[in-house]
């Protein structure tokens, strides 16, 4: 409402440097130059819209307004679905027709007279506002003057005499025309006005002059009525009503001062659209009341906008804040590698090399990291990697039951897969992708530190998960499995992309949870002996900030989400980034805005108070550039949230703020890692690839680009390529196993 670009001047205005500019900003600048006023401009309102909005209540729906003043215009309430620029499919919106420019393309050519052409030629804007120049009060007197001068030259009036005043633009005004048409005093006023023009009218001249005035004003009223009839007919047909009952607000000096304009207009409208029951309501104060009403609404919306901006401000991270996150992560990485207390565990994975392309063979892979569990057969050959996989569900009662129940279920799934693929009795090397924090004591030894992502199976934390799997295999009997490696999904992602690009030395997951790994110099890993070579480090960066180092970036909404989680105080970085939590952050922000009256008319709905209604896919869909606002609203309504278009726009902004912060925090973490790799190798410039997986990263329309932009900003000396992993957790586990088999064979040789 407080943004309006002037398209063109009309009504005799022609100030330079204004067309194409925001007139609200120009006004604000002028107020600021004065320096003594504190005025907040919240709305710019067309006078026609103000007239409609100020229509007195109790006279039926006022959905059309008509101004015939210096210029002329009309507005009406159009079905929103018909206005392409709105992307709306319901409700109505006020459309300013700007009908003064009707006929600028020559549509009314047959109606134009030589006097219209002469007036247009002498105007400040020839060829523009042609309809207005036939109707507007600024021009009616001038049309009368041109006709009188023509008749005088032809000897029809004033004995064939003219005067300098009669030949001068602007000497006959709307007020003169109105006075000369006044039924009781018009004749006397004709003589007085003509004498003021330096003319000596004869007795017969007065009647002819009045006829000229009547002809000009009658044509104006009829043209105005025809245009209004077109608007009313459109309303009737678009609403599929047999009879349209509507109030039309009218205003402007022509209505106020001309004795017959109103009645001429009304009679012609009845003639042209008899199926419309029209009430004409004169504007009481020239639209001032309507402007005040619009301003009141705009002021409320502006207040809501400020509340929204204040609410989202903590999510807007500056460059300095992102640099601080990067620095804190670097410090936590260094402490974790040295074995000191740190929120980053920096766990050795005992993966010492990435694929070199010589790996061959058939391998089994298991992938446990969420609500689904996969078993895969991975065939690594010279021509590439072939994968056959089967998805099995992990019921919630199993994920949060006993450890024995969970691992027995996993083995049952493996046996089912072997039977389906004809692998029963074969003992293939197996890689186990286990996407939970583990301290690895070897490639096939992993101590579960703690459950995440909604898992809470008992008697598992502190245990070697490979041993738990082997015990379940023994309980099943007649099953032979050779567990070679336990692999974090992030490591699997790095290895999967490393098979395609040897420069890939970092893995990143941004899905249900988030984590990263990278190839560290072995000499920097205090917990593993040796100085030569590399070691893949599982950062477990979801726990970054659990020591309070991220508190300054945490909002009250993050605190709410954390406190309601199954692990309060833990995985704080993950809870600000991953798809499992972003929807909940959004929901808490929406609850807060609703409590402030900004959203949903301040009405708290039961649906909005329901946990986890916003899934990652909804955030991705809502922020999609290809969706119109009405489609965003439809998505939200499918969630049971009745809302207006303004609500939908605000929800979109909330989603954007939350996901942008997540991407920027993720980017700051990646920047910290690649900068460490560069400094480890004392390189002026590092070229490195990052293998990435996860639904949030892959499906969100802007997440990946925001991550990349943040990395470029914070690590300018690193050229980073992001590679989307294809089945990193499955293919990657098999490749870790394949590399381990290759290295073991080389060692035996």
From the candidates 217, 343, 435, 549, which is the catalytic residue? 435
CB 379 within 8 A of CB 385: yes
Handedness of CA 28, 29, 32, 33 (dihedral sign): negative
Q: What's the rounded Cα separation, in Å, for the pair 132 and 122? A: 15
CB 410 within 8 A of CB 457: no
CB 31 within 8 A of CB 90: no
Within 10 Å of residue 203's Cβ, how many Cβ atoms?
8
Nearest CA to 255 out of 270, 266, 268, 271 is that of 266
Tell me if residue 374 is catalytic.
yes
Q: What's the rounded Cα separation, in Å, for the pair 655 and 643? A: 16
From the candidates 47, 444, 464, 489, which is the catalytic residue? 489
Token readout for 168 is 């001068």
Q: Report the SS3 class of residue 182.
A: coil
What is the crossing angle of helices 703-714 and 319-338, to 10°? 80
Q: Tell me how far the alpha carbon of residue 280 is from its chain's centroid.
A: 41
H or E segment at 188? helix 186-196
Tell me if residue 217 is catalytic.
no
Q: Which residues pair with 690 in a beta bridge?
A: 506, 722
From the candidates 374, 587, 661, 678, which is the catalytic residue? 374
Q: What is the DSSP letter of 255?
A: H
CB 289 within 8 A of CB 62: no
Nearest CA to 104 out of 72, 138, 127 is that of 127
Burial of 282 (0-12, 13-18, 19+ CB in 10 A): middle
CB 696 within 8 A of CB 703: yes
Nearest CA to 492 out of 733, 692, 693, 739 is that of 733
List, in order, residues 6 or more apart from 103 with CB less than 8 Å away.
109, 112, 130, 131
Q: What's the rounded Cα separation, in Å, for the pair 336 and 330? A: 10
Q: What's the rounded Cα separation, in Å, for the pair 55 and 76? A: 13
Positions marked active-site: 374, 435, 489
């Amino acid at each position: 409402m407080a943004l309006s670009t002037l398209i063109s001047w009309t009504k005799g205005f022609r100030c330079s440097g204004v067309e194409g500019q925001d007139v609200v900003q120009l006004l604000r600048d002028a107020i600021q130059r004065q320096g003594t006023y504190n005025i907040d401009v919240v709305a710019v309102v067309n006078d026609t819209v103000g007239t409609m909005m100020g229509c007195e209540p109790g006279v039926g729906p006022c959905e059309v307004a008509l101004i015939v003043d210096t210029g002329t215009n009309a507005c009406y309430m159009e079905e929103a679905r018909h206005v392409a620029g709105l992307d709306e499919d319901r409700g109505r919106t006020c459309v300013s027709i700007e009908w003064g420019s009707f006929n600028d393309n020559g549509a009314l050519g047959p109606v134009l007279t030589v006097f219209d052409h002469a007036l247009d030629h002498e105007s400040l804007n020839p060829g523009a506002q042609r309809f207005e120049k036939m109707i507007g009060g600024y021009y009616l007197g001038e049309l009368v003057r041109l006709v009188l001068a023509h008749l005088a030259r032809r000897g029809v009036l004033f004995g064939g005499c003219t005067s300098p005043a009669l030949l001068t633009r602007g000497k006959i005004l709307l007020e003169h025309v109105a006075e000369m048409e006044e039924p009781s005093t018009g004749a006397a006023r004709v003589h007085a006005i003509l004498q003021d023009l330096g003319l000596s009218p004869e007795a017969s001249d007065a009647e002819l002059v009045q006829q000229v005035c009547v002809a000009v004003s009658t044509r104006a009223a009829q043209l105005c009525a025809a245009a209004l009839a077109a608007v009313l007919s459109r309303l009737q047909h678009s609403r599929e009503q047999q009879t349209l009952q509507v109030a039309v607000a009218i205003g402007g000096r022509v209505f106020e001062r001309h004795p017959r304009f109103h009645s001429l207009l009304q009679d012609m409208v009845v003639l042209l659209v008899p199926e419309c029951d029209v009430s004409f309501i004169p504007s009481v104060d020239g639209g001032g009341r309507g402007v005040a009403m619009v301003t009141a609404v705009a002021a409320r919306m502006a207040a809501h906008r400020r509340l929204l901006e204040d609410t989202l401000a903590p999510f807007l991270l500056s460059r300095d804040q992102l640099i601080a996150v990067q620095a804190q992560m670097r410090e936590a990485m260094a402490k974790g590698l040295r074995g000191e207390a740190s929120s980053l565990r920096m766990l050795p994975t005992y993966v010492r090399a990435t694929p070199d392309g010589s790996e061959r063979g058939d391998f089994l892979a298991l992938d446990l990291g969420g609500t689904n569990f996969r078993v895969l057969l991975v065939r690594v050959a010279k021509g590439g990697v072939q994968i056959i996989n089967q998805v099995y569900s992990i019921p919630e009662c199993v994920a949060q039951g006993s450890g024995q129940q969970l691992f027995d279920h996993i083995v049952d799934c493996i046996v089912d897969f072997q039977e389906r693929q004809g692998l029963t009795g074969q003992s293939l090397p197996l890689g186990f992708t286990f996407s939970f924090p583990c301290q690895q004591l070897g490639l096939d030894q992993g101590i579960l530190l703690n459950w995440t992502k909604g898992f809470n199976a008992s008697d598992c934390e502190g245990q070697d998960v490979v041993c738990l799997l082997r015990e379940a295999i023994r309980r099943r009997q007649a099953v032979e499995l050779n567990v070679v490696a336990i692999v974090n999904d992030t490591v699997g992602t790095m290895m999967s992309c490393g098979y395609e690009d040897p420069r890939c030395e970092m893995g990143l997951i941004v899905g249900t949870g988030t984590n990263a790994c990278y190839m560290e110099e072995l000499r920097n890993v205090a917990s593993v002996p040796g100085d030569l070579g590399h070691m893949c480090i599982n950062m477990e960066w979801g726990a970054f900030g659990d020591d309070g180092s991220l508190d300054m970036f945490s909002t009250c909404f993050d605190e709410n989400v954390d406190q309601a989680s199954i692990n309060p105080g833990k995985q704080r970085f993950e809870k600000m980034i991953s798809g499992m939590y972003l929807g909940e952050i959004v929901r808490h922000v929406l609850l807060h805005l609703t409590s402030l009256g900004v959203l949903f008319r301040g009405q708290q709905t039961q649906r909005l108070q329901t946990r986890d209604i916003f899934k990652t896919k909804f955030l991705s869909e809502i922020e999609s550039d290809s969706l119109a606002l009405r489609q965003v609203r439809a998505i939200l309504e499918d969630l049971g949230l009745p809302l207006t278009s303004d609500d939908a726009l605000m929800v979109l902004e909330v989603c954007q703020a939350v996901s942008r912060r997540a991407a920027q925090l993720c980017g700051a973490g990646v920047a910290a890692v690649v900068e460490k790799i560069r400094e480890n190798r004392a390189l002026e410039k590092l070229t490195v690839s990052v293998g990435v997986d996860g639904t949030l990263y892959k499906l969100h329309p802007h997440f990946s680009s925001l991550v990349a932009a943040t990395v470029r900003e914070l690590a300018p000396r690193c050229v980073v390529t992001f590679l989307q992993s294809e089945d990193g957790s499955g293919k990657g586990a098999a490749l870790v196993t394949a590399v381990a088999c290759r290295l073991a064979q080389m060692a035996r040789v």
